[in-house]
A and B are shown apart, each in its own frame.
Chain A
Amino acid sequence: MIENFDMSMVNWARAQFALTAMYHWIFVPLTLGITWIIAFYETLYVKTGNEHWKHITKFWAKLFGINFAIGVATGIIMEFEFGTNWSNYSWMVGDIFGAPLAIEGIIAFFLEATFFAVMFFGWNRVSKRFHLFSTWMVALGSNLSAMWILVANGWMQFPTGMAFNPDTARFEMQNIMEVILSPVAVSKFTHTTSSSMLLASLFIISISSWFLLRGRHIEMAKRSIIVAAVFGLITSAVVGFTGDEAAYEDAQHQPMKLAAFEGLYKGEKNAGIVAIGMLNSDKKPGDDQKPFNFQIRIPALLSLLANRSPGSFVPGIDDLVYGNEEYNIMGAGEKIERGKIALSALDTYKKAKKEGNGDMAAAALASFNENQEYMGYGFLEKPEDIVPPVATTFYSFHIMVALGTLFPLVCLAFLYFTMKDQLLNKRWLLAAGVPMFFLAMIASQAGWVVAEVGRQPWAIQGLLPVSVARSNLTAGTVQTTFFMFAILFTILLFAEVRIMTKQISIGPEGE
């Protein structure tokens, strides 16, 4: 289908997408979460008429505004990068993937963009209630936007509701509700938005702690913390629950990702979860080396997580690469062979159709249909190609989980001491609170690394590897734009951080 794989170009395109996505994700989770909290603060203002809540609302909204613009700027690149760097992807799955992006534009972006102007410039131009309504609409719009993009992402992780059309040689949508309501999409959306709300709570706790340590804006900081800590505690519970669901979905649809983030090479029953571990960097799939230099495992928990049954079998990397007859797992080698048959049959089918040879076309189509489930594997060269970078996936997952366990404890401590009115005396807690936002950012980024690095080499799980999804560009071209984006985004990030820290140090107006 595509000859002459240029892996160098593919790797630069991957790097560029990772760069854009990670920069984008510096700004977006804060937007997703803080808009709800700001809307809540403003609701308190409208309900009570207390000007304190208005100052609080405006202060956090100002920081949100600084953050919002650069989130928008990095977002537009992501949308168009599908076309510029992954044009074959855009063609082959555009029939399915384009729809949620367009719906996102119609349903969500306009809500966000239209009411954003009211939120920031409408204080004296519209009624209090309409302003409050606008703030809620910005929160709703940004989260609806996340929903549609995560529907699209969920579909890449678990392609459903579509079929391959051999005549057009692309995938075509058959059931949009299956795409929207796919369990992976639902899990992605709930886990991403709840973790973003937790991150926003920790943002408020971080800055408020800093104010309290300096003895500034005490009333505002304490009021901010109460709402943020309650919000953070509730969303932590949701993050835990949806995280469990996300891992279950991985086990069902992307078992290799699960095996990679647990460093599980040999599948087993009663599989345990690695609580702490250090991978053996020399370990390769299929060899006899130990996967870990050191590990502490909690027995049977991985089996429970993966299959909702503690005694169940969880396949490891070796089982998925080389197959396991006992558990009826086909190895990647056989899948590659069958995939190559499918690709060759597709070629024959297209030629026969062009030549008007009906018999040959029918035979080729039959052969294609028999093997098309494995078509994506036909682009791979060897069974080990299906293994993602294990160390990156493993450590990212464990950092995310460890931090995710810490955050509810932090929220609980802040809530407890605020309610007891002892927060100002607990300087150790305030000092611990300040870096929480950065830790939340690390956890959030690590989550996406697990999701995206863990599914390599696939652009569309099992159907389309990144090497085929690419555009026909030279490595040098993509390398050039990689550095253009890297330099520009870094400059803008520096500018944002400087502006943000200055605005924080100025503090709320009217306090």
Chain B
Amino acid sequence: MIGSLDTTTLQHLWWLLCSVVGALFIFLTFVQGGQTLLWQVAKSDLEKSLVINSLGRKWELTFTTLVLFGGALFAAFPKFYATSFGGAYWVWVLILFTFIVQAVSYEYRKKENNLLGEKVYELFLFINGSVGILLIGAAVGTFFTGSNFVLSGYNFVTWTHPLRGLEAAFSLFNLSLGLFLVFNARTIGSMYLINNIDFSATPELETRLRNACWTSFLCSLPFLGYVLVSLLLMKGYTVDGNGVVSMVSRKYLANLLANPWLLGLLAAGLVLVISGVLSTAKTSKTGGIWMGGLGTVLVGLTVLLLPAYNNTPFYPSKADLQSSLTIANASSSHYTLTAMTYVAIAIPFVLAYVAYVWWAMDRTKLTADEVQSEAY
């Protein structure tokens, strides 16, 4: 069956798969959100240890999902990989930097002779959770607002802005998307920690986390509002049957209306996130993360599908409209997409064992005793 799929279907399927991985990554940034909460919610060493150890059991999952997101884009849309990474150089390098320092911080922070001291590793975690996520949001924002590049006849990319990608962070829309992701990560980060930790020894930590969930959510609202309203009103990029790209008014509103299921995803996602927030912040329940997490996945999926489907260039060029990338002109060959689709059959199995291990490891909450005996 997979072998008989045509190129267009495969391109749509692979954008969907990449978007699912991207949306799962946005959910898993609860780790980064938790990192930025550390100094705010954890006042004692024990509280810090609980937060760090709870997040530290999941950071690799987030990291791996980011790597897979990159790998899947490379395999399925190599022209995007080449154009964006080779062009928007500085934004990607800085994002990578924040993830390098994160990767070592959990392991090194509390170890003796760690050279830089505990506080520096905690600062690394904060930078990863704030600057890293903000820049990822700004980079994703360029899917809507466009970038500054020109492709030669042989697809060699020339970036036309001296900041090489960092200029994305100076657009109000991109910045708002980035800040929304930062505050959303904090919102779901507090939900995750509420779910994962046994607070019997640290009741104040629980109170602070529930408060942080509410305030982070309130902080995210203006940015979310600005992004949503802009999406409905802004001009967007479109591509016609001959591959000619042009600008049209209210393109993304048109995309939503042309694909009402996207509208459904967005609405369901927002309702779920709000339910998760209310459950965590206004009740004593601990399961808010599942609603908040699923809601984040659905919102993330909408944000990633909206600029690519319905004849929309997902990586538009402001400098030269005809250099813009669509899922049709940026994709791998029919053969590669087909081969990769066979491999993608493994994804449900991977999700199943990840879910099983998550359940097996988190059946009992993380206690103060445990972080004192067996911990980072």
Could you tell me how many residues of chain A have their Cβ less than 8 Å away from some Cβ of chain B? 81
Most buried by A among B76, B89, B158: B89
CB proximity of A395 to chain B, nearest CB, Å: 31
Q: Which of A80, A96, A103, A471 has the most CB of B within 10 A?
A: A80
Looking at A83-91, A285-293, A428-436, the stretch in contact with chain B turns out to be A83-91
Given contacts A69-B108, A102-B72, A172-B336, contact A116 B60 (CB under 8 A): yes
The smallest C-beta distance from B224 to any residue of chain A, in angstroms, reads: 29
B290 interface contact, C-beta 8 A: no
Which residue in B61, B158, B336 is a CB contact (below 8 Å) of A114?
B61
B-contact bits for A42-78, CB 8 A (1 contact / 0 none): 0000000000000000000000011011101111110
Given known pairs A79-B67, A117-B60, the reply for A87 and B100 (CB within 8 Å) is no
Which residues on the A side are within 8 Å of B103 (C-beta)?
A: 69-70, 72-73, 76
A83: chain B residues at CB < 8 Å are 70, 74, 81-82, 84-86, 92
Selecting from A104-112, A219-227, A272-280, A316-324, the interface stretch reads A104-112
CB-defined contacts of A173 to chain B, threshold 8 Å: 332-333, 335-336, 339
Q: Provide the residues of chain B in CB contact with A97, threshold 8 Å.
A: 74
* Chain A residues whose CB sits within 8 angstroms of the CB of B61 once the complex forms: 110, 113-114, 117
- Complex: chain A residue closest to B373, CB-CB: A124
Q: Whole-angstrom distance between the alpha carbons of A68 and B63 in the complex?
A: 13
Contact A109 to B67, CB < 8 A, known contacts A73-B99, A87-B85, A121-B57: yes
Asked whether, in the complex, the Cβ of B156 is within 8 Å of the Cβ of A117, the reply is no
Identify the closest chain B residue to A93 (Cβ).
B78
- Are A488 and B100 also in contact (CB < 8 A) when A98-B78, A98-B332 are? yes
| Known A106-B350, A116-B60: A76·B157 in contact at CB below 8 Å | no
B128 to chain A, nearest CB (A): 11
Query: Across the two chains, which residue of chain A brings its CB closest to B100?
Result: A73
- In the assembly, what is the distance between CA of A152 and CA of B69, in Å? 18
Interchain CB contact under 8 A, B374 and A103: no
**A494 at the binding interface (Cβ < 8 Å):** yes
Note all chain A residues with C-beta closer than 8 A to B86.
83-88, 90, 471-473
Q: What is the CA–CA distance of A116 and B376 in the complex, to the nearest angstrom?
A: 13
Selected from B57, B350, B374, the residue in CB contact (under 8 A) with A123 is B374
Residue from A98, A165, A491, A506 in contact with B116 in the complex, judged by beta carbons closer than 8 Å: A491
Report how many residues on chain B are interfacial, defined by Cβ distance under 8 Å: 72
Q: Chain B residue with minimal CB distance to A489?
A: B100
Of the candidates A82, A103, A495, the one whose C-beta lies within 8 Å of that of B108 is A495
Q: Interface readout for B91-114 with A: 1 if CB under 8 Å, 0 if not?
A: 011001101110110111001111
**A357 at interface by CB-CB < 8 Å:** no
Report A-chain residues with C-beta under 8 Å of the C-beta of B350.
106-107, 110
Report whether B114 and A499 are in contact in the complex, using a CB–CB cutoff of 8 Å. yes
Least CB distance from A168 to B in Å reads 8
On whether A102 and B155 interact (CB within 8 A), knowing A484-B97, A498-B113, the answer reads no
Q: Which residues of B contact A1 (CB under 8 A)?
A: 154, 156
Cβ of A350 under 8 Å from chain B:
yes
Residue on B nearest A498 in the bound complex, by CB: B113
Chain A 398-428, CB-CB to B under 8 Å as 1, else 0, gives: 0000000000000000000000000000000
CB distance from A115 to the nearest CB of B (A): 7
B164 within 8 A of A: yes
B347 at the interface (CB under 8 A from A): yes
Q: Which one of A65, A118, A472, A477 has the highest number of Cβ atoms from chain B below 10 Å of its Cβ?
A: A472
A130 at the interface (CB under 8 A from B): yes
How close is A34's CB to chain B, nearest CB, in angstroms? 16
Is B242 interfacial (CB-CB < 8 Å)? Answer: no
Q: How far is the CA of A421 from the CA of B350 in the complex (A)?
A: 47
Contact residues in B for A484 (Cβ distance below 8 Å): 93, 97
| B370, CB-defined interface residue at 8 Å | yes
B156 near A472 with CB under 8 A, answer yes
Within B54-76, the residues touching A (CB, 8 Å) are 57-58, 60-61, 63-64, 66-68, 70-72, 74-76
- C-alpha spacing A203/B333, complex, angstroms: 45
Supposing A98-B332, A125-B363 touch, asked if A105 and B154 sit within 8 A by C-beta, the answer is no
Hey, which chain B residues are within 8 Å of A74, CB to CB? Answer: 100
Taking CB atoms, residues of chain A closer than 8 Å to B97 are: 484, 488
- Indicate whether A281 reaches chain B with its CB closer than 8 angstroms: no
Tell me whether B1 is interfacial, beta carbon within 8 Å.
no
Considering the complex, give the chain B residue whose CB is closest to the CB of A100: B75
Interchain CB contact under 8 A, A105 and B68: yes
Q: Which of B37-45, B169-177, B354-362 is found at the contact surface with chain A?
A: B354-362
Chain A positions 470-508 with a Cβ under 8 Å from a chain B Cβ: 471-473, 477, 481, 484, 488, 491-492, 494-496, 498-499, 501-503, 506
Min C-beta distance of B149 to chain A, whole Å: 10
Among the listed A80, A107, A116, A121, which residue makes an inter-chain contact with B70, where contact means beta carbons less than 8 Å apart? A80
Enumerate chain A residues within 8 angstroms of B116, measured Cβ to Cβ. 491, 495
| Contact call A172/B100, Cβ cutoff below 8 A | no
Asked if A174 is at the interface of the complex by the 8 Å CB criterion, the answer is yes
B153 in the interface (beta carbon within 8 A): yes
Taking a contact as CB atoms under 8 Å apart, the answer to whether A125 and B115 are in contact is no
A83-B82, A106-B343, A472-B158 known; A90 vs B60 contact (CB < 8 Å)? no
Residue from B100, B108, B360 in contact with A77 in the complex, judged by beta carbons closer than 8 Å: B100
B107 surroundings in chain A (CB, below 8 A)? 65-66, 68-69
Q: How far, in Å, is B117 (CB) from chain A's closest CB?
A: 10
Contact residues in A for B183 (Cβ distance below 8 Å): none
B contact residues around A472 at 8 Å (CB): 86-87, 156-159
Q: Determine the chain B residues whose CB is within 8 A of the CB of A176 once the complex forms.
A: 335-336, 339
Hey, which chain B residues are within 8 Å of A123, CB to CB?
374
Q: Does B344 contact A (CB under 8 A)?
A: yes
User: Quick check: A113 and B60 within 8 Å, CB to CB?
Assistant: yes
Task: Verify if B210 is at the interface (C-beta below 8 Å from A).
Answer: no
For B82, the chain A residues whose CB sits under 8 A away are 83, 87-91, 94
Q: B344 contacts which chain A residues (CB < 8 A)?
A: 106
Interface flag for A19 (CB, 8 Å): no
Do residues A84 and B60 form an inter-chain contact, with CB atoms below 8 A? no
Question: What is the interface of chain A, defined by CB distance below 8 A to chain B?
Answer: 1-2, 65-66, 68-70, 72-77, 79-80, 82-91, 94-99, 101-107, 109-110, 112-118, 121-126, 130, 134, 165, 169-170, 172-174, 176, 350, 471-473, 477, 481, 484, 488, 491-492, 494-496, 498-499, 501-503, 506
Q: What 7 pairs across the A-B complex have the smallest Cβ distances?
A: A87-B86, A94-B78, A83-B85, A98-B75, A105-B68, A73-B103, A98-B74
